[in-house]
Structure 1
Amino acid sequence: MRDAVNWEHALVTGNGRQGALCWGTAAEVRLTVSHERLFLPLRAPLPAPDTATILPRLRDLLDQGQYARAAREVCEHAAAGEPAYAETVRIDPLVGAATLTVRPRRPAANLVRSVDPATGLVVLRWRDDCGETRVEVFASRPADAIVVRLSGPGGFAGHLALNLIDGSPPRPVRARTGSGTDGILLTAEFDAAWPGAPPGYRVRCRAVAGDVDGSAVRSDATLIIRTLLPGEPEPDVPGDFDVLFAAHRAAHGELMGRVHLDLAGDPADRAAPTAGLLAQPVGPALVERLFEAGRYAVVSSTGELPPTLQGVWSGTWTPPWSSGYTLDGNLPAVVSALLPTATPELLLPVFDLLEAHRDDLRHNARRLYGARGLLTPVHLSTHGRQNHFGPVWCQTFWTAGAAWMSRLYVDYWRYTGDRAFLRDRALPFLREAAEFYLDFVQVRDGTALFSPSYSPENAPASTGSQACVNATMDVAVVRDLLTNLLRYATGDPAAPAWRSLLAALPGYRVADGLLAEWCHEGLDDQPAHRHASHLWPLWYEPDPLITEDPVLRAAAVATVRSRLAWWAGAESDEMGYGLAQLGLAAAALGLAEEAYGTVVTMASRYWRDNLVPTHNRDALFNVDIAGGLPAVVAAMLVRSAHGRLDLLPALPGAWPRGRVTGLAARDAIRVRELSWEPGRAHAVLWAAERTAVVVGAPPGMTIGGAPQVTLSLPPGQPVTVLLSP
């Protein structure tokens, strides 16, 4: 890789808490550093709009089919009570902390960049008549710092500058920089005076080895860069780059090394530069590389908090959608591969985030709908109040968030078998999530009605308004939530109420041969859309109501194919993670070529040669499909649901041979190895506890002559499964 002239094409390294974007030219290497909690304070959190007082009116409008009027009325009512709601109120954005500029005394024009996902090391190097100059960067997990080594022939010589990132912040940020004998300190102050707002931050660039005097570098040197928020200490860090790197490589490499994918690609392709692979038709080598690159981006941007839209990185004051946490699709997409790729501990920050804002989620439920329980906003960062909505994007009508997040809690338990987590964290969250739906959902003539409702960002063709009733997603997530509560919270006093609401939920609807996006009659589908939220019942443990009903299953298959045809025909510039949604649904239905089609489209349209994906086609640095692509690949190779483990359930013709190690499955099962070739396959299974599981073979193969067998996996002992014609 050659020069990167802006931060969106940078190579990345991160330890979850601290990140660095490595870009620039040989004349001016730039390292833009960031911190997972550095959200620029824009305004104090507002009370969520008090729409509970007008809920009967909103429901009357929706009953009358005045969907757009209902959405506008929310905004008018909110603005009457809080003038700030006259415009869209955005969440606090994730911003970059500072840029360290390295200007070598002897630059050249042939900068070459590389990143090693296995270690997290970024190298920027160039050569002249005197030899090679190198800038090596990694984000140390153990030391919680960005570590930089400058080296060159006869010793590195150059100049350092530490400044705020480029551009103008939407609120004033005052900064001053001071140099000392061991480096540079940048101090930034925010113009934010409300309680709880951070006053600012510091960025410390300290030389721990070499001859560095303030901004002047006179020899090979090691720098430690750390972004510090108020109250964060600055621990001592040893000055030996190699020692620091060895400790980081062990921690980072252990996470990355848990899963390995080998699709038996051409060795020459594996050695090819990423830009070359991206310029060719998608082949096994590119899928392997992006599978690893996606995992690298997510591992590197998961710390105490989960990845934002841009991971842990930012080079702008005004990132798209504020680069916070978008719960109606983006956040679930970026974390979707963490469990199947055996890194469950990296999902815990999602639960920490939700629980840190629990009071705000309760506040939302009361203010918007006069209900108990939890109501998540679509967008959040420094608080969880529902502040971001409008007459078109009527996000106060989206009530599916807590039930969707409940599935992540359940799956953490299903993949890990952690009973303490189930008891102490999962079930309390699920119970409180269900309280909201017990209060909010109306039951009319024995049938549940979700009014208002919202299918993320899509509008029925018959109305043109995103406001609606009975979105299929809402019905599906609540069915999943109540089913799991009745399964795991045995003997709970609320069980009769859960059971009653579950029985009242409307069935899935078929319209024009497709699975309808709205269960409500009269709301016609709009299939030319980037989201596929009505396929939610197939993204996790497929809903048997769909997979075991021939009519609904056929409708779901037709829906996947219809949406894929739209993506192909439109040459879409839409969000990439919609393809991950389709891929997970296709894999759940055993649609191998359709699932593969989503992988090909993600790989060919939404990745740059810096190994970071984009939100739109070659636009908007974004990590959603960094989780989505590996999740779809994993789902094509292993499917686990409802006590069943299917091997190679959606294996495409493009991968006739291959091997994957380390994938995880529900019921705390690990697929330590899965290898295959035409007509044959070999798997090694391992379970944490004695587990009975039905193991299924793909079409064209059997297990001992049968399409499936029931195995009792002993605790902690590998069991080999052979598949043959």
Structure 2
Amino acid sequence: MLAATADAQHVLFYDAPVLPGAKTIAGKGEKDFIQRALPLGNGRLGAMFSGGIDRELIATNEITLWANANRGLDEVTQSGTRLGAGAHLETVRQAYRDGKYGTKKGSMEQMADQYLISPQKLGNYSTFTEVQISTGHDPKNVTDYRRELDLKTAIGKVSYDIGEASYTREYFCSYPHDAMVMRLTAHNATLDLTISTSTRHQTKSLKADGSTSTLIGEVKLANDKSYFSQHIHVEADGGKVTATNGGSLQVSGAKAVNLYLAGYTDYLPVYPTFKGRDYEQDGLATLDRIKQAGYQAVKTAHIADYQSQEQRMSLQLDYEPSGLTTDQLVKRGGSVELENLYFNFGRYLQLGCSRSAPVPSNLQGLWNPHTKPQWNSDYHFDINLAMNYWLPDPANLPDCFSPYVDYMKVIARSGAHTARETYGVNKGWTAGVNGNVYGLTAPINDGRRVQQSGAWLSQNLFDHYAFNQDREYLEEIYPIIKGAAEFYVEFLAPWKDGTLVVYPTWSPENFYLPQIGGKLNKQCYGAAWDQQLVLNLFTDCIEASEKLEIDSEFRDQLKAMIPKLCPQKIGQHGQLQEWPEDWDIPTNTHRHISHLIALHPGRDISPLTTPAMVDAALVTMKHRGDESTGWSTAWKTCFWARLHNGDKSHQFYRYLTSKRAYPNLFDFHPPFQIDGNFGGPAGVCEMLLQSHLRSIDNGASDISDAVFVAYQSDPQSPNHFVPISPPKALATAPYILHLLPALPSAWPNGNVSGLRARGGLEVDIQWQSGNLVAATIRATENTTFRVYAQGKLSEVYSLAKGQHKTLTW
């Protein structure tokens, strides 16, 4: 029997506040706050609350508030590109061809830095405001304290008693009403509060009038200023609200108090100006709508809206609830209870920081109490942004993907200028490693980071289509995918053996030949991840053009180029090579294993299709070891699931949830990075269901005969695997649903409902004693598919939209 309760699965709870006695979050308190405070968000507006007794401290965030960067430059300059740099590309490439390693003058890195790097500033994501609610309560007199976050309703709560009096608070960020809402109540007592607000940016004005306070802030940019507003309206039941000269609001003698917070910046996602929102009027209009609706109606709408998303999927693992507070649960070490909770928390965070926002979630999602956070809390295009969006499709949160799509339209427009000016490529677009909300696509000031990220960014776009099978969406994204492919068609260049490689590039963060160039020797050519993703991109573009019946000449051009790409290689240690040369070091335990991207999130390396490449990938995984940072642990969870090793995948997921989680379950990189919170739950989905393989021979009963294989061993060099152009049949090939491909022995009993599979499908799965019991497959579009379970491949099934099929074992 499944013993888990709703509370154990869906509630984070604690018996103490964050920063007890602190007067502000700023300074030393920031570190503890980000690790312990509980997050709320509606996709655009976010908050974290401390649950303080004498003083509630709330950090708010607005996802577009970005400091110290440029905006509003001309169309070309806004991209950050170094004008005319493309004229020097061959000068830079010659250093690569000559093997000029290291970082000294004349080296690959120094030449790239000299000729290609952008002089523009990236800037950084920043905090919005801090709200304080002073209660006058003495923590020494408090009993029965509880602070919690309910993942089923997206409502935070604080409750405690003082003598015969009981006090409660509720907090949520409403998506329908686009605001943060708070309610404080007292039983056998009344409330006397002071509500104040501040910002660590320049305060242009702060005033209180009647029951509303208004803060207008000013943010320093590299070439401009941006502006924002925050409005707080207070309603007191049975009490009085008074405005002060300092901009605070005081409440006296109230039985209950409602607070409505609206905040906006002047940002609009329009390249290259990125401004124009009437932030102050939008804030006032939001408050007016809430005041007319009233607290109860706003709360009811919030819960209904949130649950319409959250209830699309559920995971039920078998465990006995411990009754421990969440921080104690983490401290105790790994458990199935914590793993189930962490999964649900990941889905909660996805809804909280990526629903119809003007920009996608960043390195910290939405939540940040710092004016300048670690790594700028920016957009890293070499895994982190992509990992933030691995979860929405399999975990049935597809609405959360729209900010990524909108952002990619901006990046493609900006990246066309970077392609032309930085690299002399006249078609398509490209992007470097780091991005911001103002469309920067040029490589920035670090020569070890010259790379092309268009293929990586485009992978998520087409995979979203694979899940939804929406032709209108495919028409929307096709120009972006085609533009990325057009860039590589012109940018790829022959290497010494005549094969086509990407360069300049690097294999993210890792080094090679340290005896020659030191551990900063990173700039390279033909990195395996580049080559794998270019194949993935070209194949996606070919299929999209087939589906849309357009661009046949370009499609044929891509098909002709694919076999010319540098092959994937198995090196002297039996490893999958990270570079075209056999440079891998078995003792190198670097966390970034980018050259396994064809294993995950790609689809071209699989135990079912490429056993020799899988054996090499296993050697690579052994070399890299088990110690990892947060996001790397999450990715290894996915790798091992794709390798069909459930226990090894679970080992990393357990490590992530217990050793790489802060008390509030934020991912411990360190410090906080949200990608682990998304990548880990994505790995859980991979353990239970995989759907990335396609059947191009529907008459074959053996899966190895049925599936399209993208790499073929070279007869002249058996350890080289040459890319294969996709056949026309791939565009209509059914996806194969692999049920329980990597079920851990630690999860012998359980069920999952609402998992999404490629091909326009939703899947429910039940298992007992480690064995598959039943699966129900529902079609969200007219579709065909095959099922692979317990070593057997089914016939092709056809379902019309709305139909379902149930299978039992």
Q: Same fold (TM over 0.5)?
A: yes
**Distance apart, 1:259 and its partner CA:** 1.2
Q: Classify the secondary structure of the residue corresponding to 2:759.
A: coil
The answer as to whether partners of 1:561 and 1:594 remain within 8 angstroms in 2 is no
1:75 matched to which residue of 2? 113
Aligned-pair CA distance for 1:51: 3.4
AA at the equivalent of 1:664? R
Q: Which amino acid aligns with 1:184?
A: S
SS in 1 for 2:472: helix
Deviation per CA, 1:612-632, whole angstroms, max 9, x where unpaired?
A: 22322xxx2321112111100
* Aligned equivalent of 2:589: 528
In structure 1, the residue matched to 2:135 is 104
2:615 aligned partner, one-letter code: A
From 598, 613, 630, the counterpart of 1:552: 613
Residue 284 (structure 1) aligned to one of 295, 316, 336 = 336
Question: Partner of 1:720 in structure 2?
Answer: 806
What's the TM-score once normalised by structure 2's chain length? 0.81
- Which residue in the other structure is 1:213 paired with? 242
On the 8 A contact 1:11/1:611 being kept in 2, the answer is no
The question of 1:142 aligning with 2:180 is answered no
Measured after TM superposition, the shift of residue 555 of structure 1 is: 0.8
CA distance in 2, matches of 1:39, 1:331: 17
- Corresponding residue of 1:128: 162
- Distance change in 2, residues 1:33/1:545 (3 Å): closer
Alignment of 1:643-682 (within 5 A): 643-682=735-774
Decide whether aligned partners of structure 1 residues 78 and 161 sit closer, same or farther in structure 2, where only a CA change above 3 A counts.
Answer: same
Structure 2: how far apart are the matches of 1:140 and 1:102?
20
Query: For residue 297 of structure 1, what is the aligned residue in structure 2?
Result: 349
Say if 1:361 and 1:374, in contact at 8 Å, map to a contact too. yes
Which residue in 2 is equivalent to 1:187?
A: 216
Matches within 5 A, 1:190-589: 190-192=219-221, 194=223, 197=224, 199-210=226-237, 211-214=240-243, 215-218=249-252, 219=254, 220-230=256-266, 231-232=278-279, 233=282, 234-235=284-285, 236-239=288-291, 240-266=294-320, 268-269=321-322, 271-303=323-355, 304=357, 305-371=359-425, 372-386=427-441, 389-391=444-446, 394-395=448-449, 397-399=450-452, 401-423=453-475, 425-444=476-495, 446-462=498-514, 463=517, 464=519, 465-490=521-546, 492-511=552-571, 512-522=573-583, 527-543=588-604, 548-563=609-624, 565-567=625-627, 572=628, 574=629, 576-589=630-643
- 1:35 and 1:484 mapped to 2: Cα distance? 35
Q: Would the aligned equivalents of 2:468 and 2:759 in 1 still touch at CA under 8 Å?
A: yes
Q: What letter is aligned with 1:282? A: G
- Tell me the alpha carbon deviations over residues 445-487 of structure 1, each in whole angstroms, 9 at most, x when there is no partner: 5411222121111112454311011101100000011112222
Task: Quickly say closer, same or farther: Cα 1:344–1:285, change in 2 above 3 A.
Answer: same
The amino acid across from 1:452 in the alignment is P
1:157 aligns with 2:171: no
Uncovered stretches (5+) of structure 1, i.e. residues with no partner: 700-705
Contact 2:124–2:378 (8 Å) recurs in 1? yes
Give, as a single letter, the amino acid of the residue that structure 1 aligns with 2:522: Q
What residue identity is the alignment partner of 2:528?
A: T
Deviation of 1:709 after TM superposition, in Å, equals 4.5
Q: Look up the SS of the partner of 1:375 in the other structure.
A: coil
State the distance in 2 between where 1:229 and 1:638 align: 41
C-alpha contact 2:203 2:215 (8 A) present in aligned 1? no
Once residues 587 and 761 of structure 2 are traced to their aligned partners in structure 1, the CA distance between those partners, rounded to angstroms, is: 39
The amino acid that maps onto 1:559 is T
Alpha-carbon shift at residue 679 of structure 1 (Å): 3.3
Tell whether the 8 Å contact from 2:786 to 2:793 is kept in structure 1 after alignment: no
Match of 2:80 in 1: 47
Superposed CA deviations along residues 417-456 of structure 1, whole A, max 9, x for unmatched, are 1011112x22211111111101110135541122212111
CA shift in 2, pair 1:446/1:46, >3 Å: closer
Distance 1:259 1:46 in 2: 40
Q: Provide the identity percentage.
A: 24
Which amino acid in structure 2 is aligned with residue 47 of structure 1?
G
Q: Distance in 2 between matches of 1:158 and 1:403?
A: 54
Per the alignment, do residues 598 and 192 of structure 1 end up closer, same or farther by CA in structure 2, a change over 3 Å counting?
closer
Aligned AA (2:544)? Y
Say which of 664, 667, 672 aligns to 1:621: 672
Shift of 1:546: 7.6
Quote how far apart the aligned CAs of 1:125 are: 2.5
Q: Distance in 1 between matches of 2:457 and 2:214?
A: 40
CA distance in structure 2 between the aligned counterparts of 1:224 and 1:325, rounded to whole angstroms: 31
Q: Secondary structure at the match of 2:612?
A: helix
Change beyond 3 A, Cα 1:560–1:193: closer
Contact 1:71 1:467 in 2 (8 A): yes
1:374 alignment partner AA: W
**Residues 40, 193 of structure 1: CA spacing in aligned structure 2 closer, same or farther, 3 A cutoff?**
closer
CA–CA separation in structure 2 for the residues paired with 1:428 and 1:370: 20
Deviations 1:156-186 (A, max 9, x none): 1121111114xxx6xxx23432112113111
**Alpha-carbon distance in structure 2 between the residues aligned to 1:398 and 1:117:** 39
Q: What letter matches 1:377 in structure 2? A: G
The alpha-carbon distance between structure 1 residues 247 and 515, as it changes in their structure 2 partners (threshold 3 A), is same
Q: CA deviation at 1:594?
A: 1.6
Residues 549, 100 of structure 1: CA spacing in aligned structure 2 closer, same or farther, 3 A cutoff? Answer: closer
Contact between 2:96 and 2:108, CA under 8 Å: does it hold in 1?
A: yes
**Structure 1 residues 560, 151: closer, same or farther in 2, change over 3 A?**
same
Q: Whole-Å Cα distance in 2 between the matches of residues 132 and 198 of structure 1?
A: 46
Q: Report how many aligned residue pairs link the two structures.
A: 686
Distance 1:492 1:527 in 2: 45
Tell me if structure 1 keeps the 8 A contact 2:510–2:592: yes
Q: Comparing 291-300 with 151-160, which one deviates more in the overlay?
A: 151-160
CA distance in structure 2 between the partners assigned to 1:24 and 1:644 by the alignment: 48
Counterpart check, 1:685 vs 2:777: yes
Check 1:191–1:495 CA distance in 2 against 1; reply closer, same or farther (3 A cut).
closer
* Displacement of 1:689: 3.6
Within 2, Cα distance between the matches of 1:521 and 1:608?
Answer: 39
The residue number in structure 1 matching 2:786 is 694
Q: 2: CA distance between counterparts of 1:475 and 1:612?
A: 33
- For residues 55 and 523 of structure 1, the distance between their equivalents in structure 2, rounded to whole angstroms, comes to 27
Contact 2:662/2:668 (<8 A) preserved: yes
2:691·2:737 contact (CA, 8 Å) conserved in 1?
yes
Change (3 A) 1:708 1:594: farther
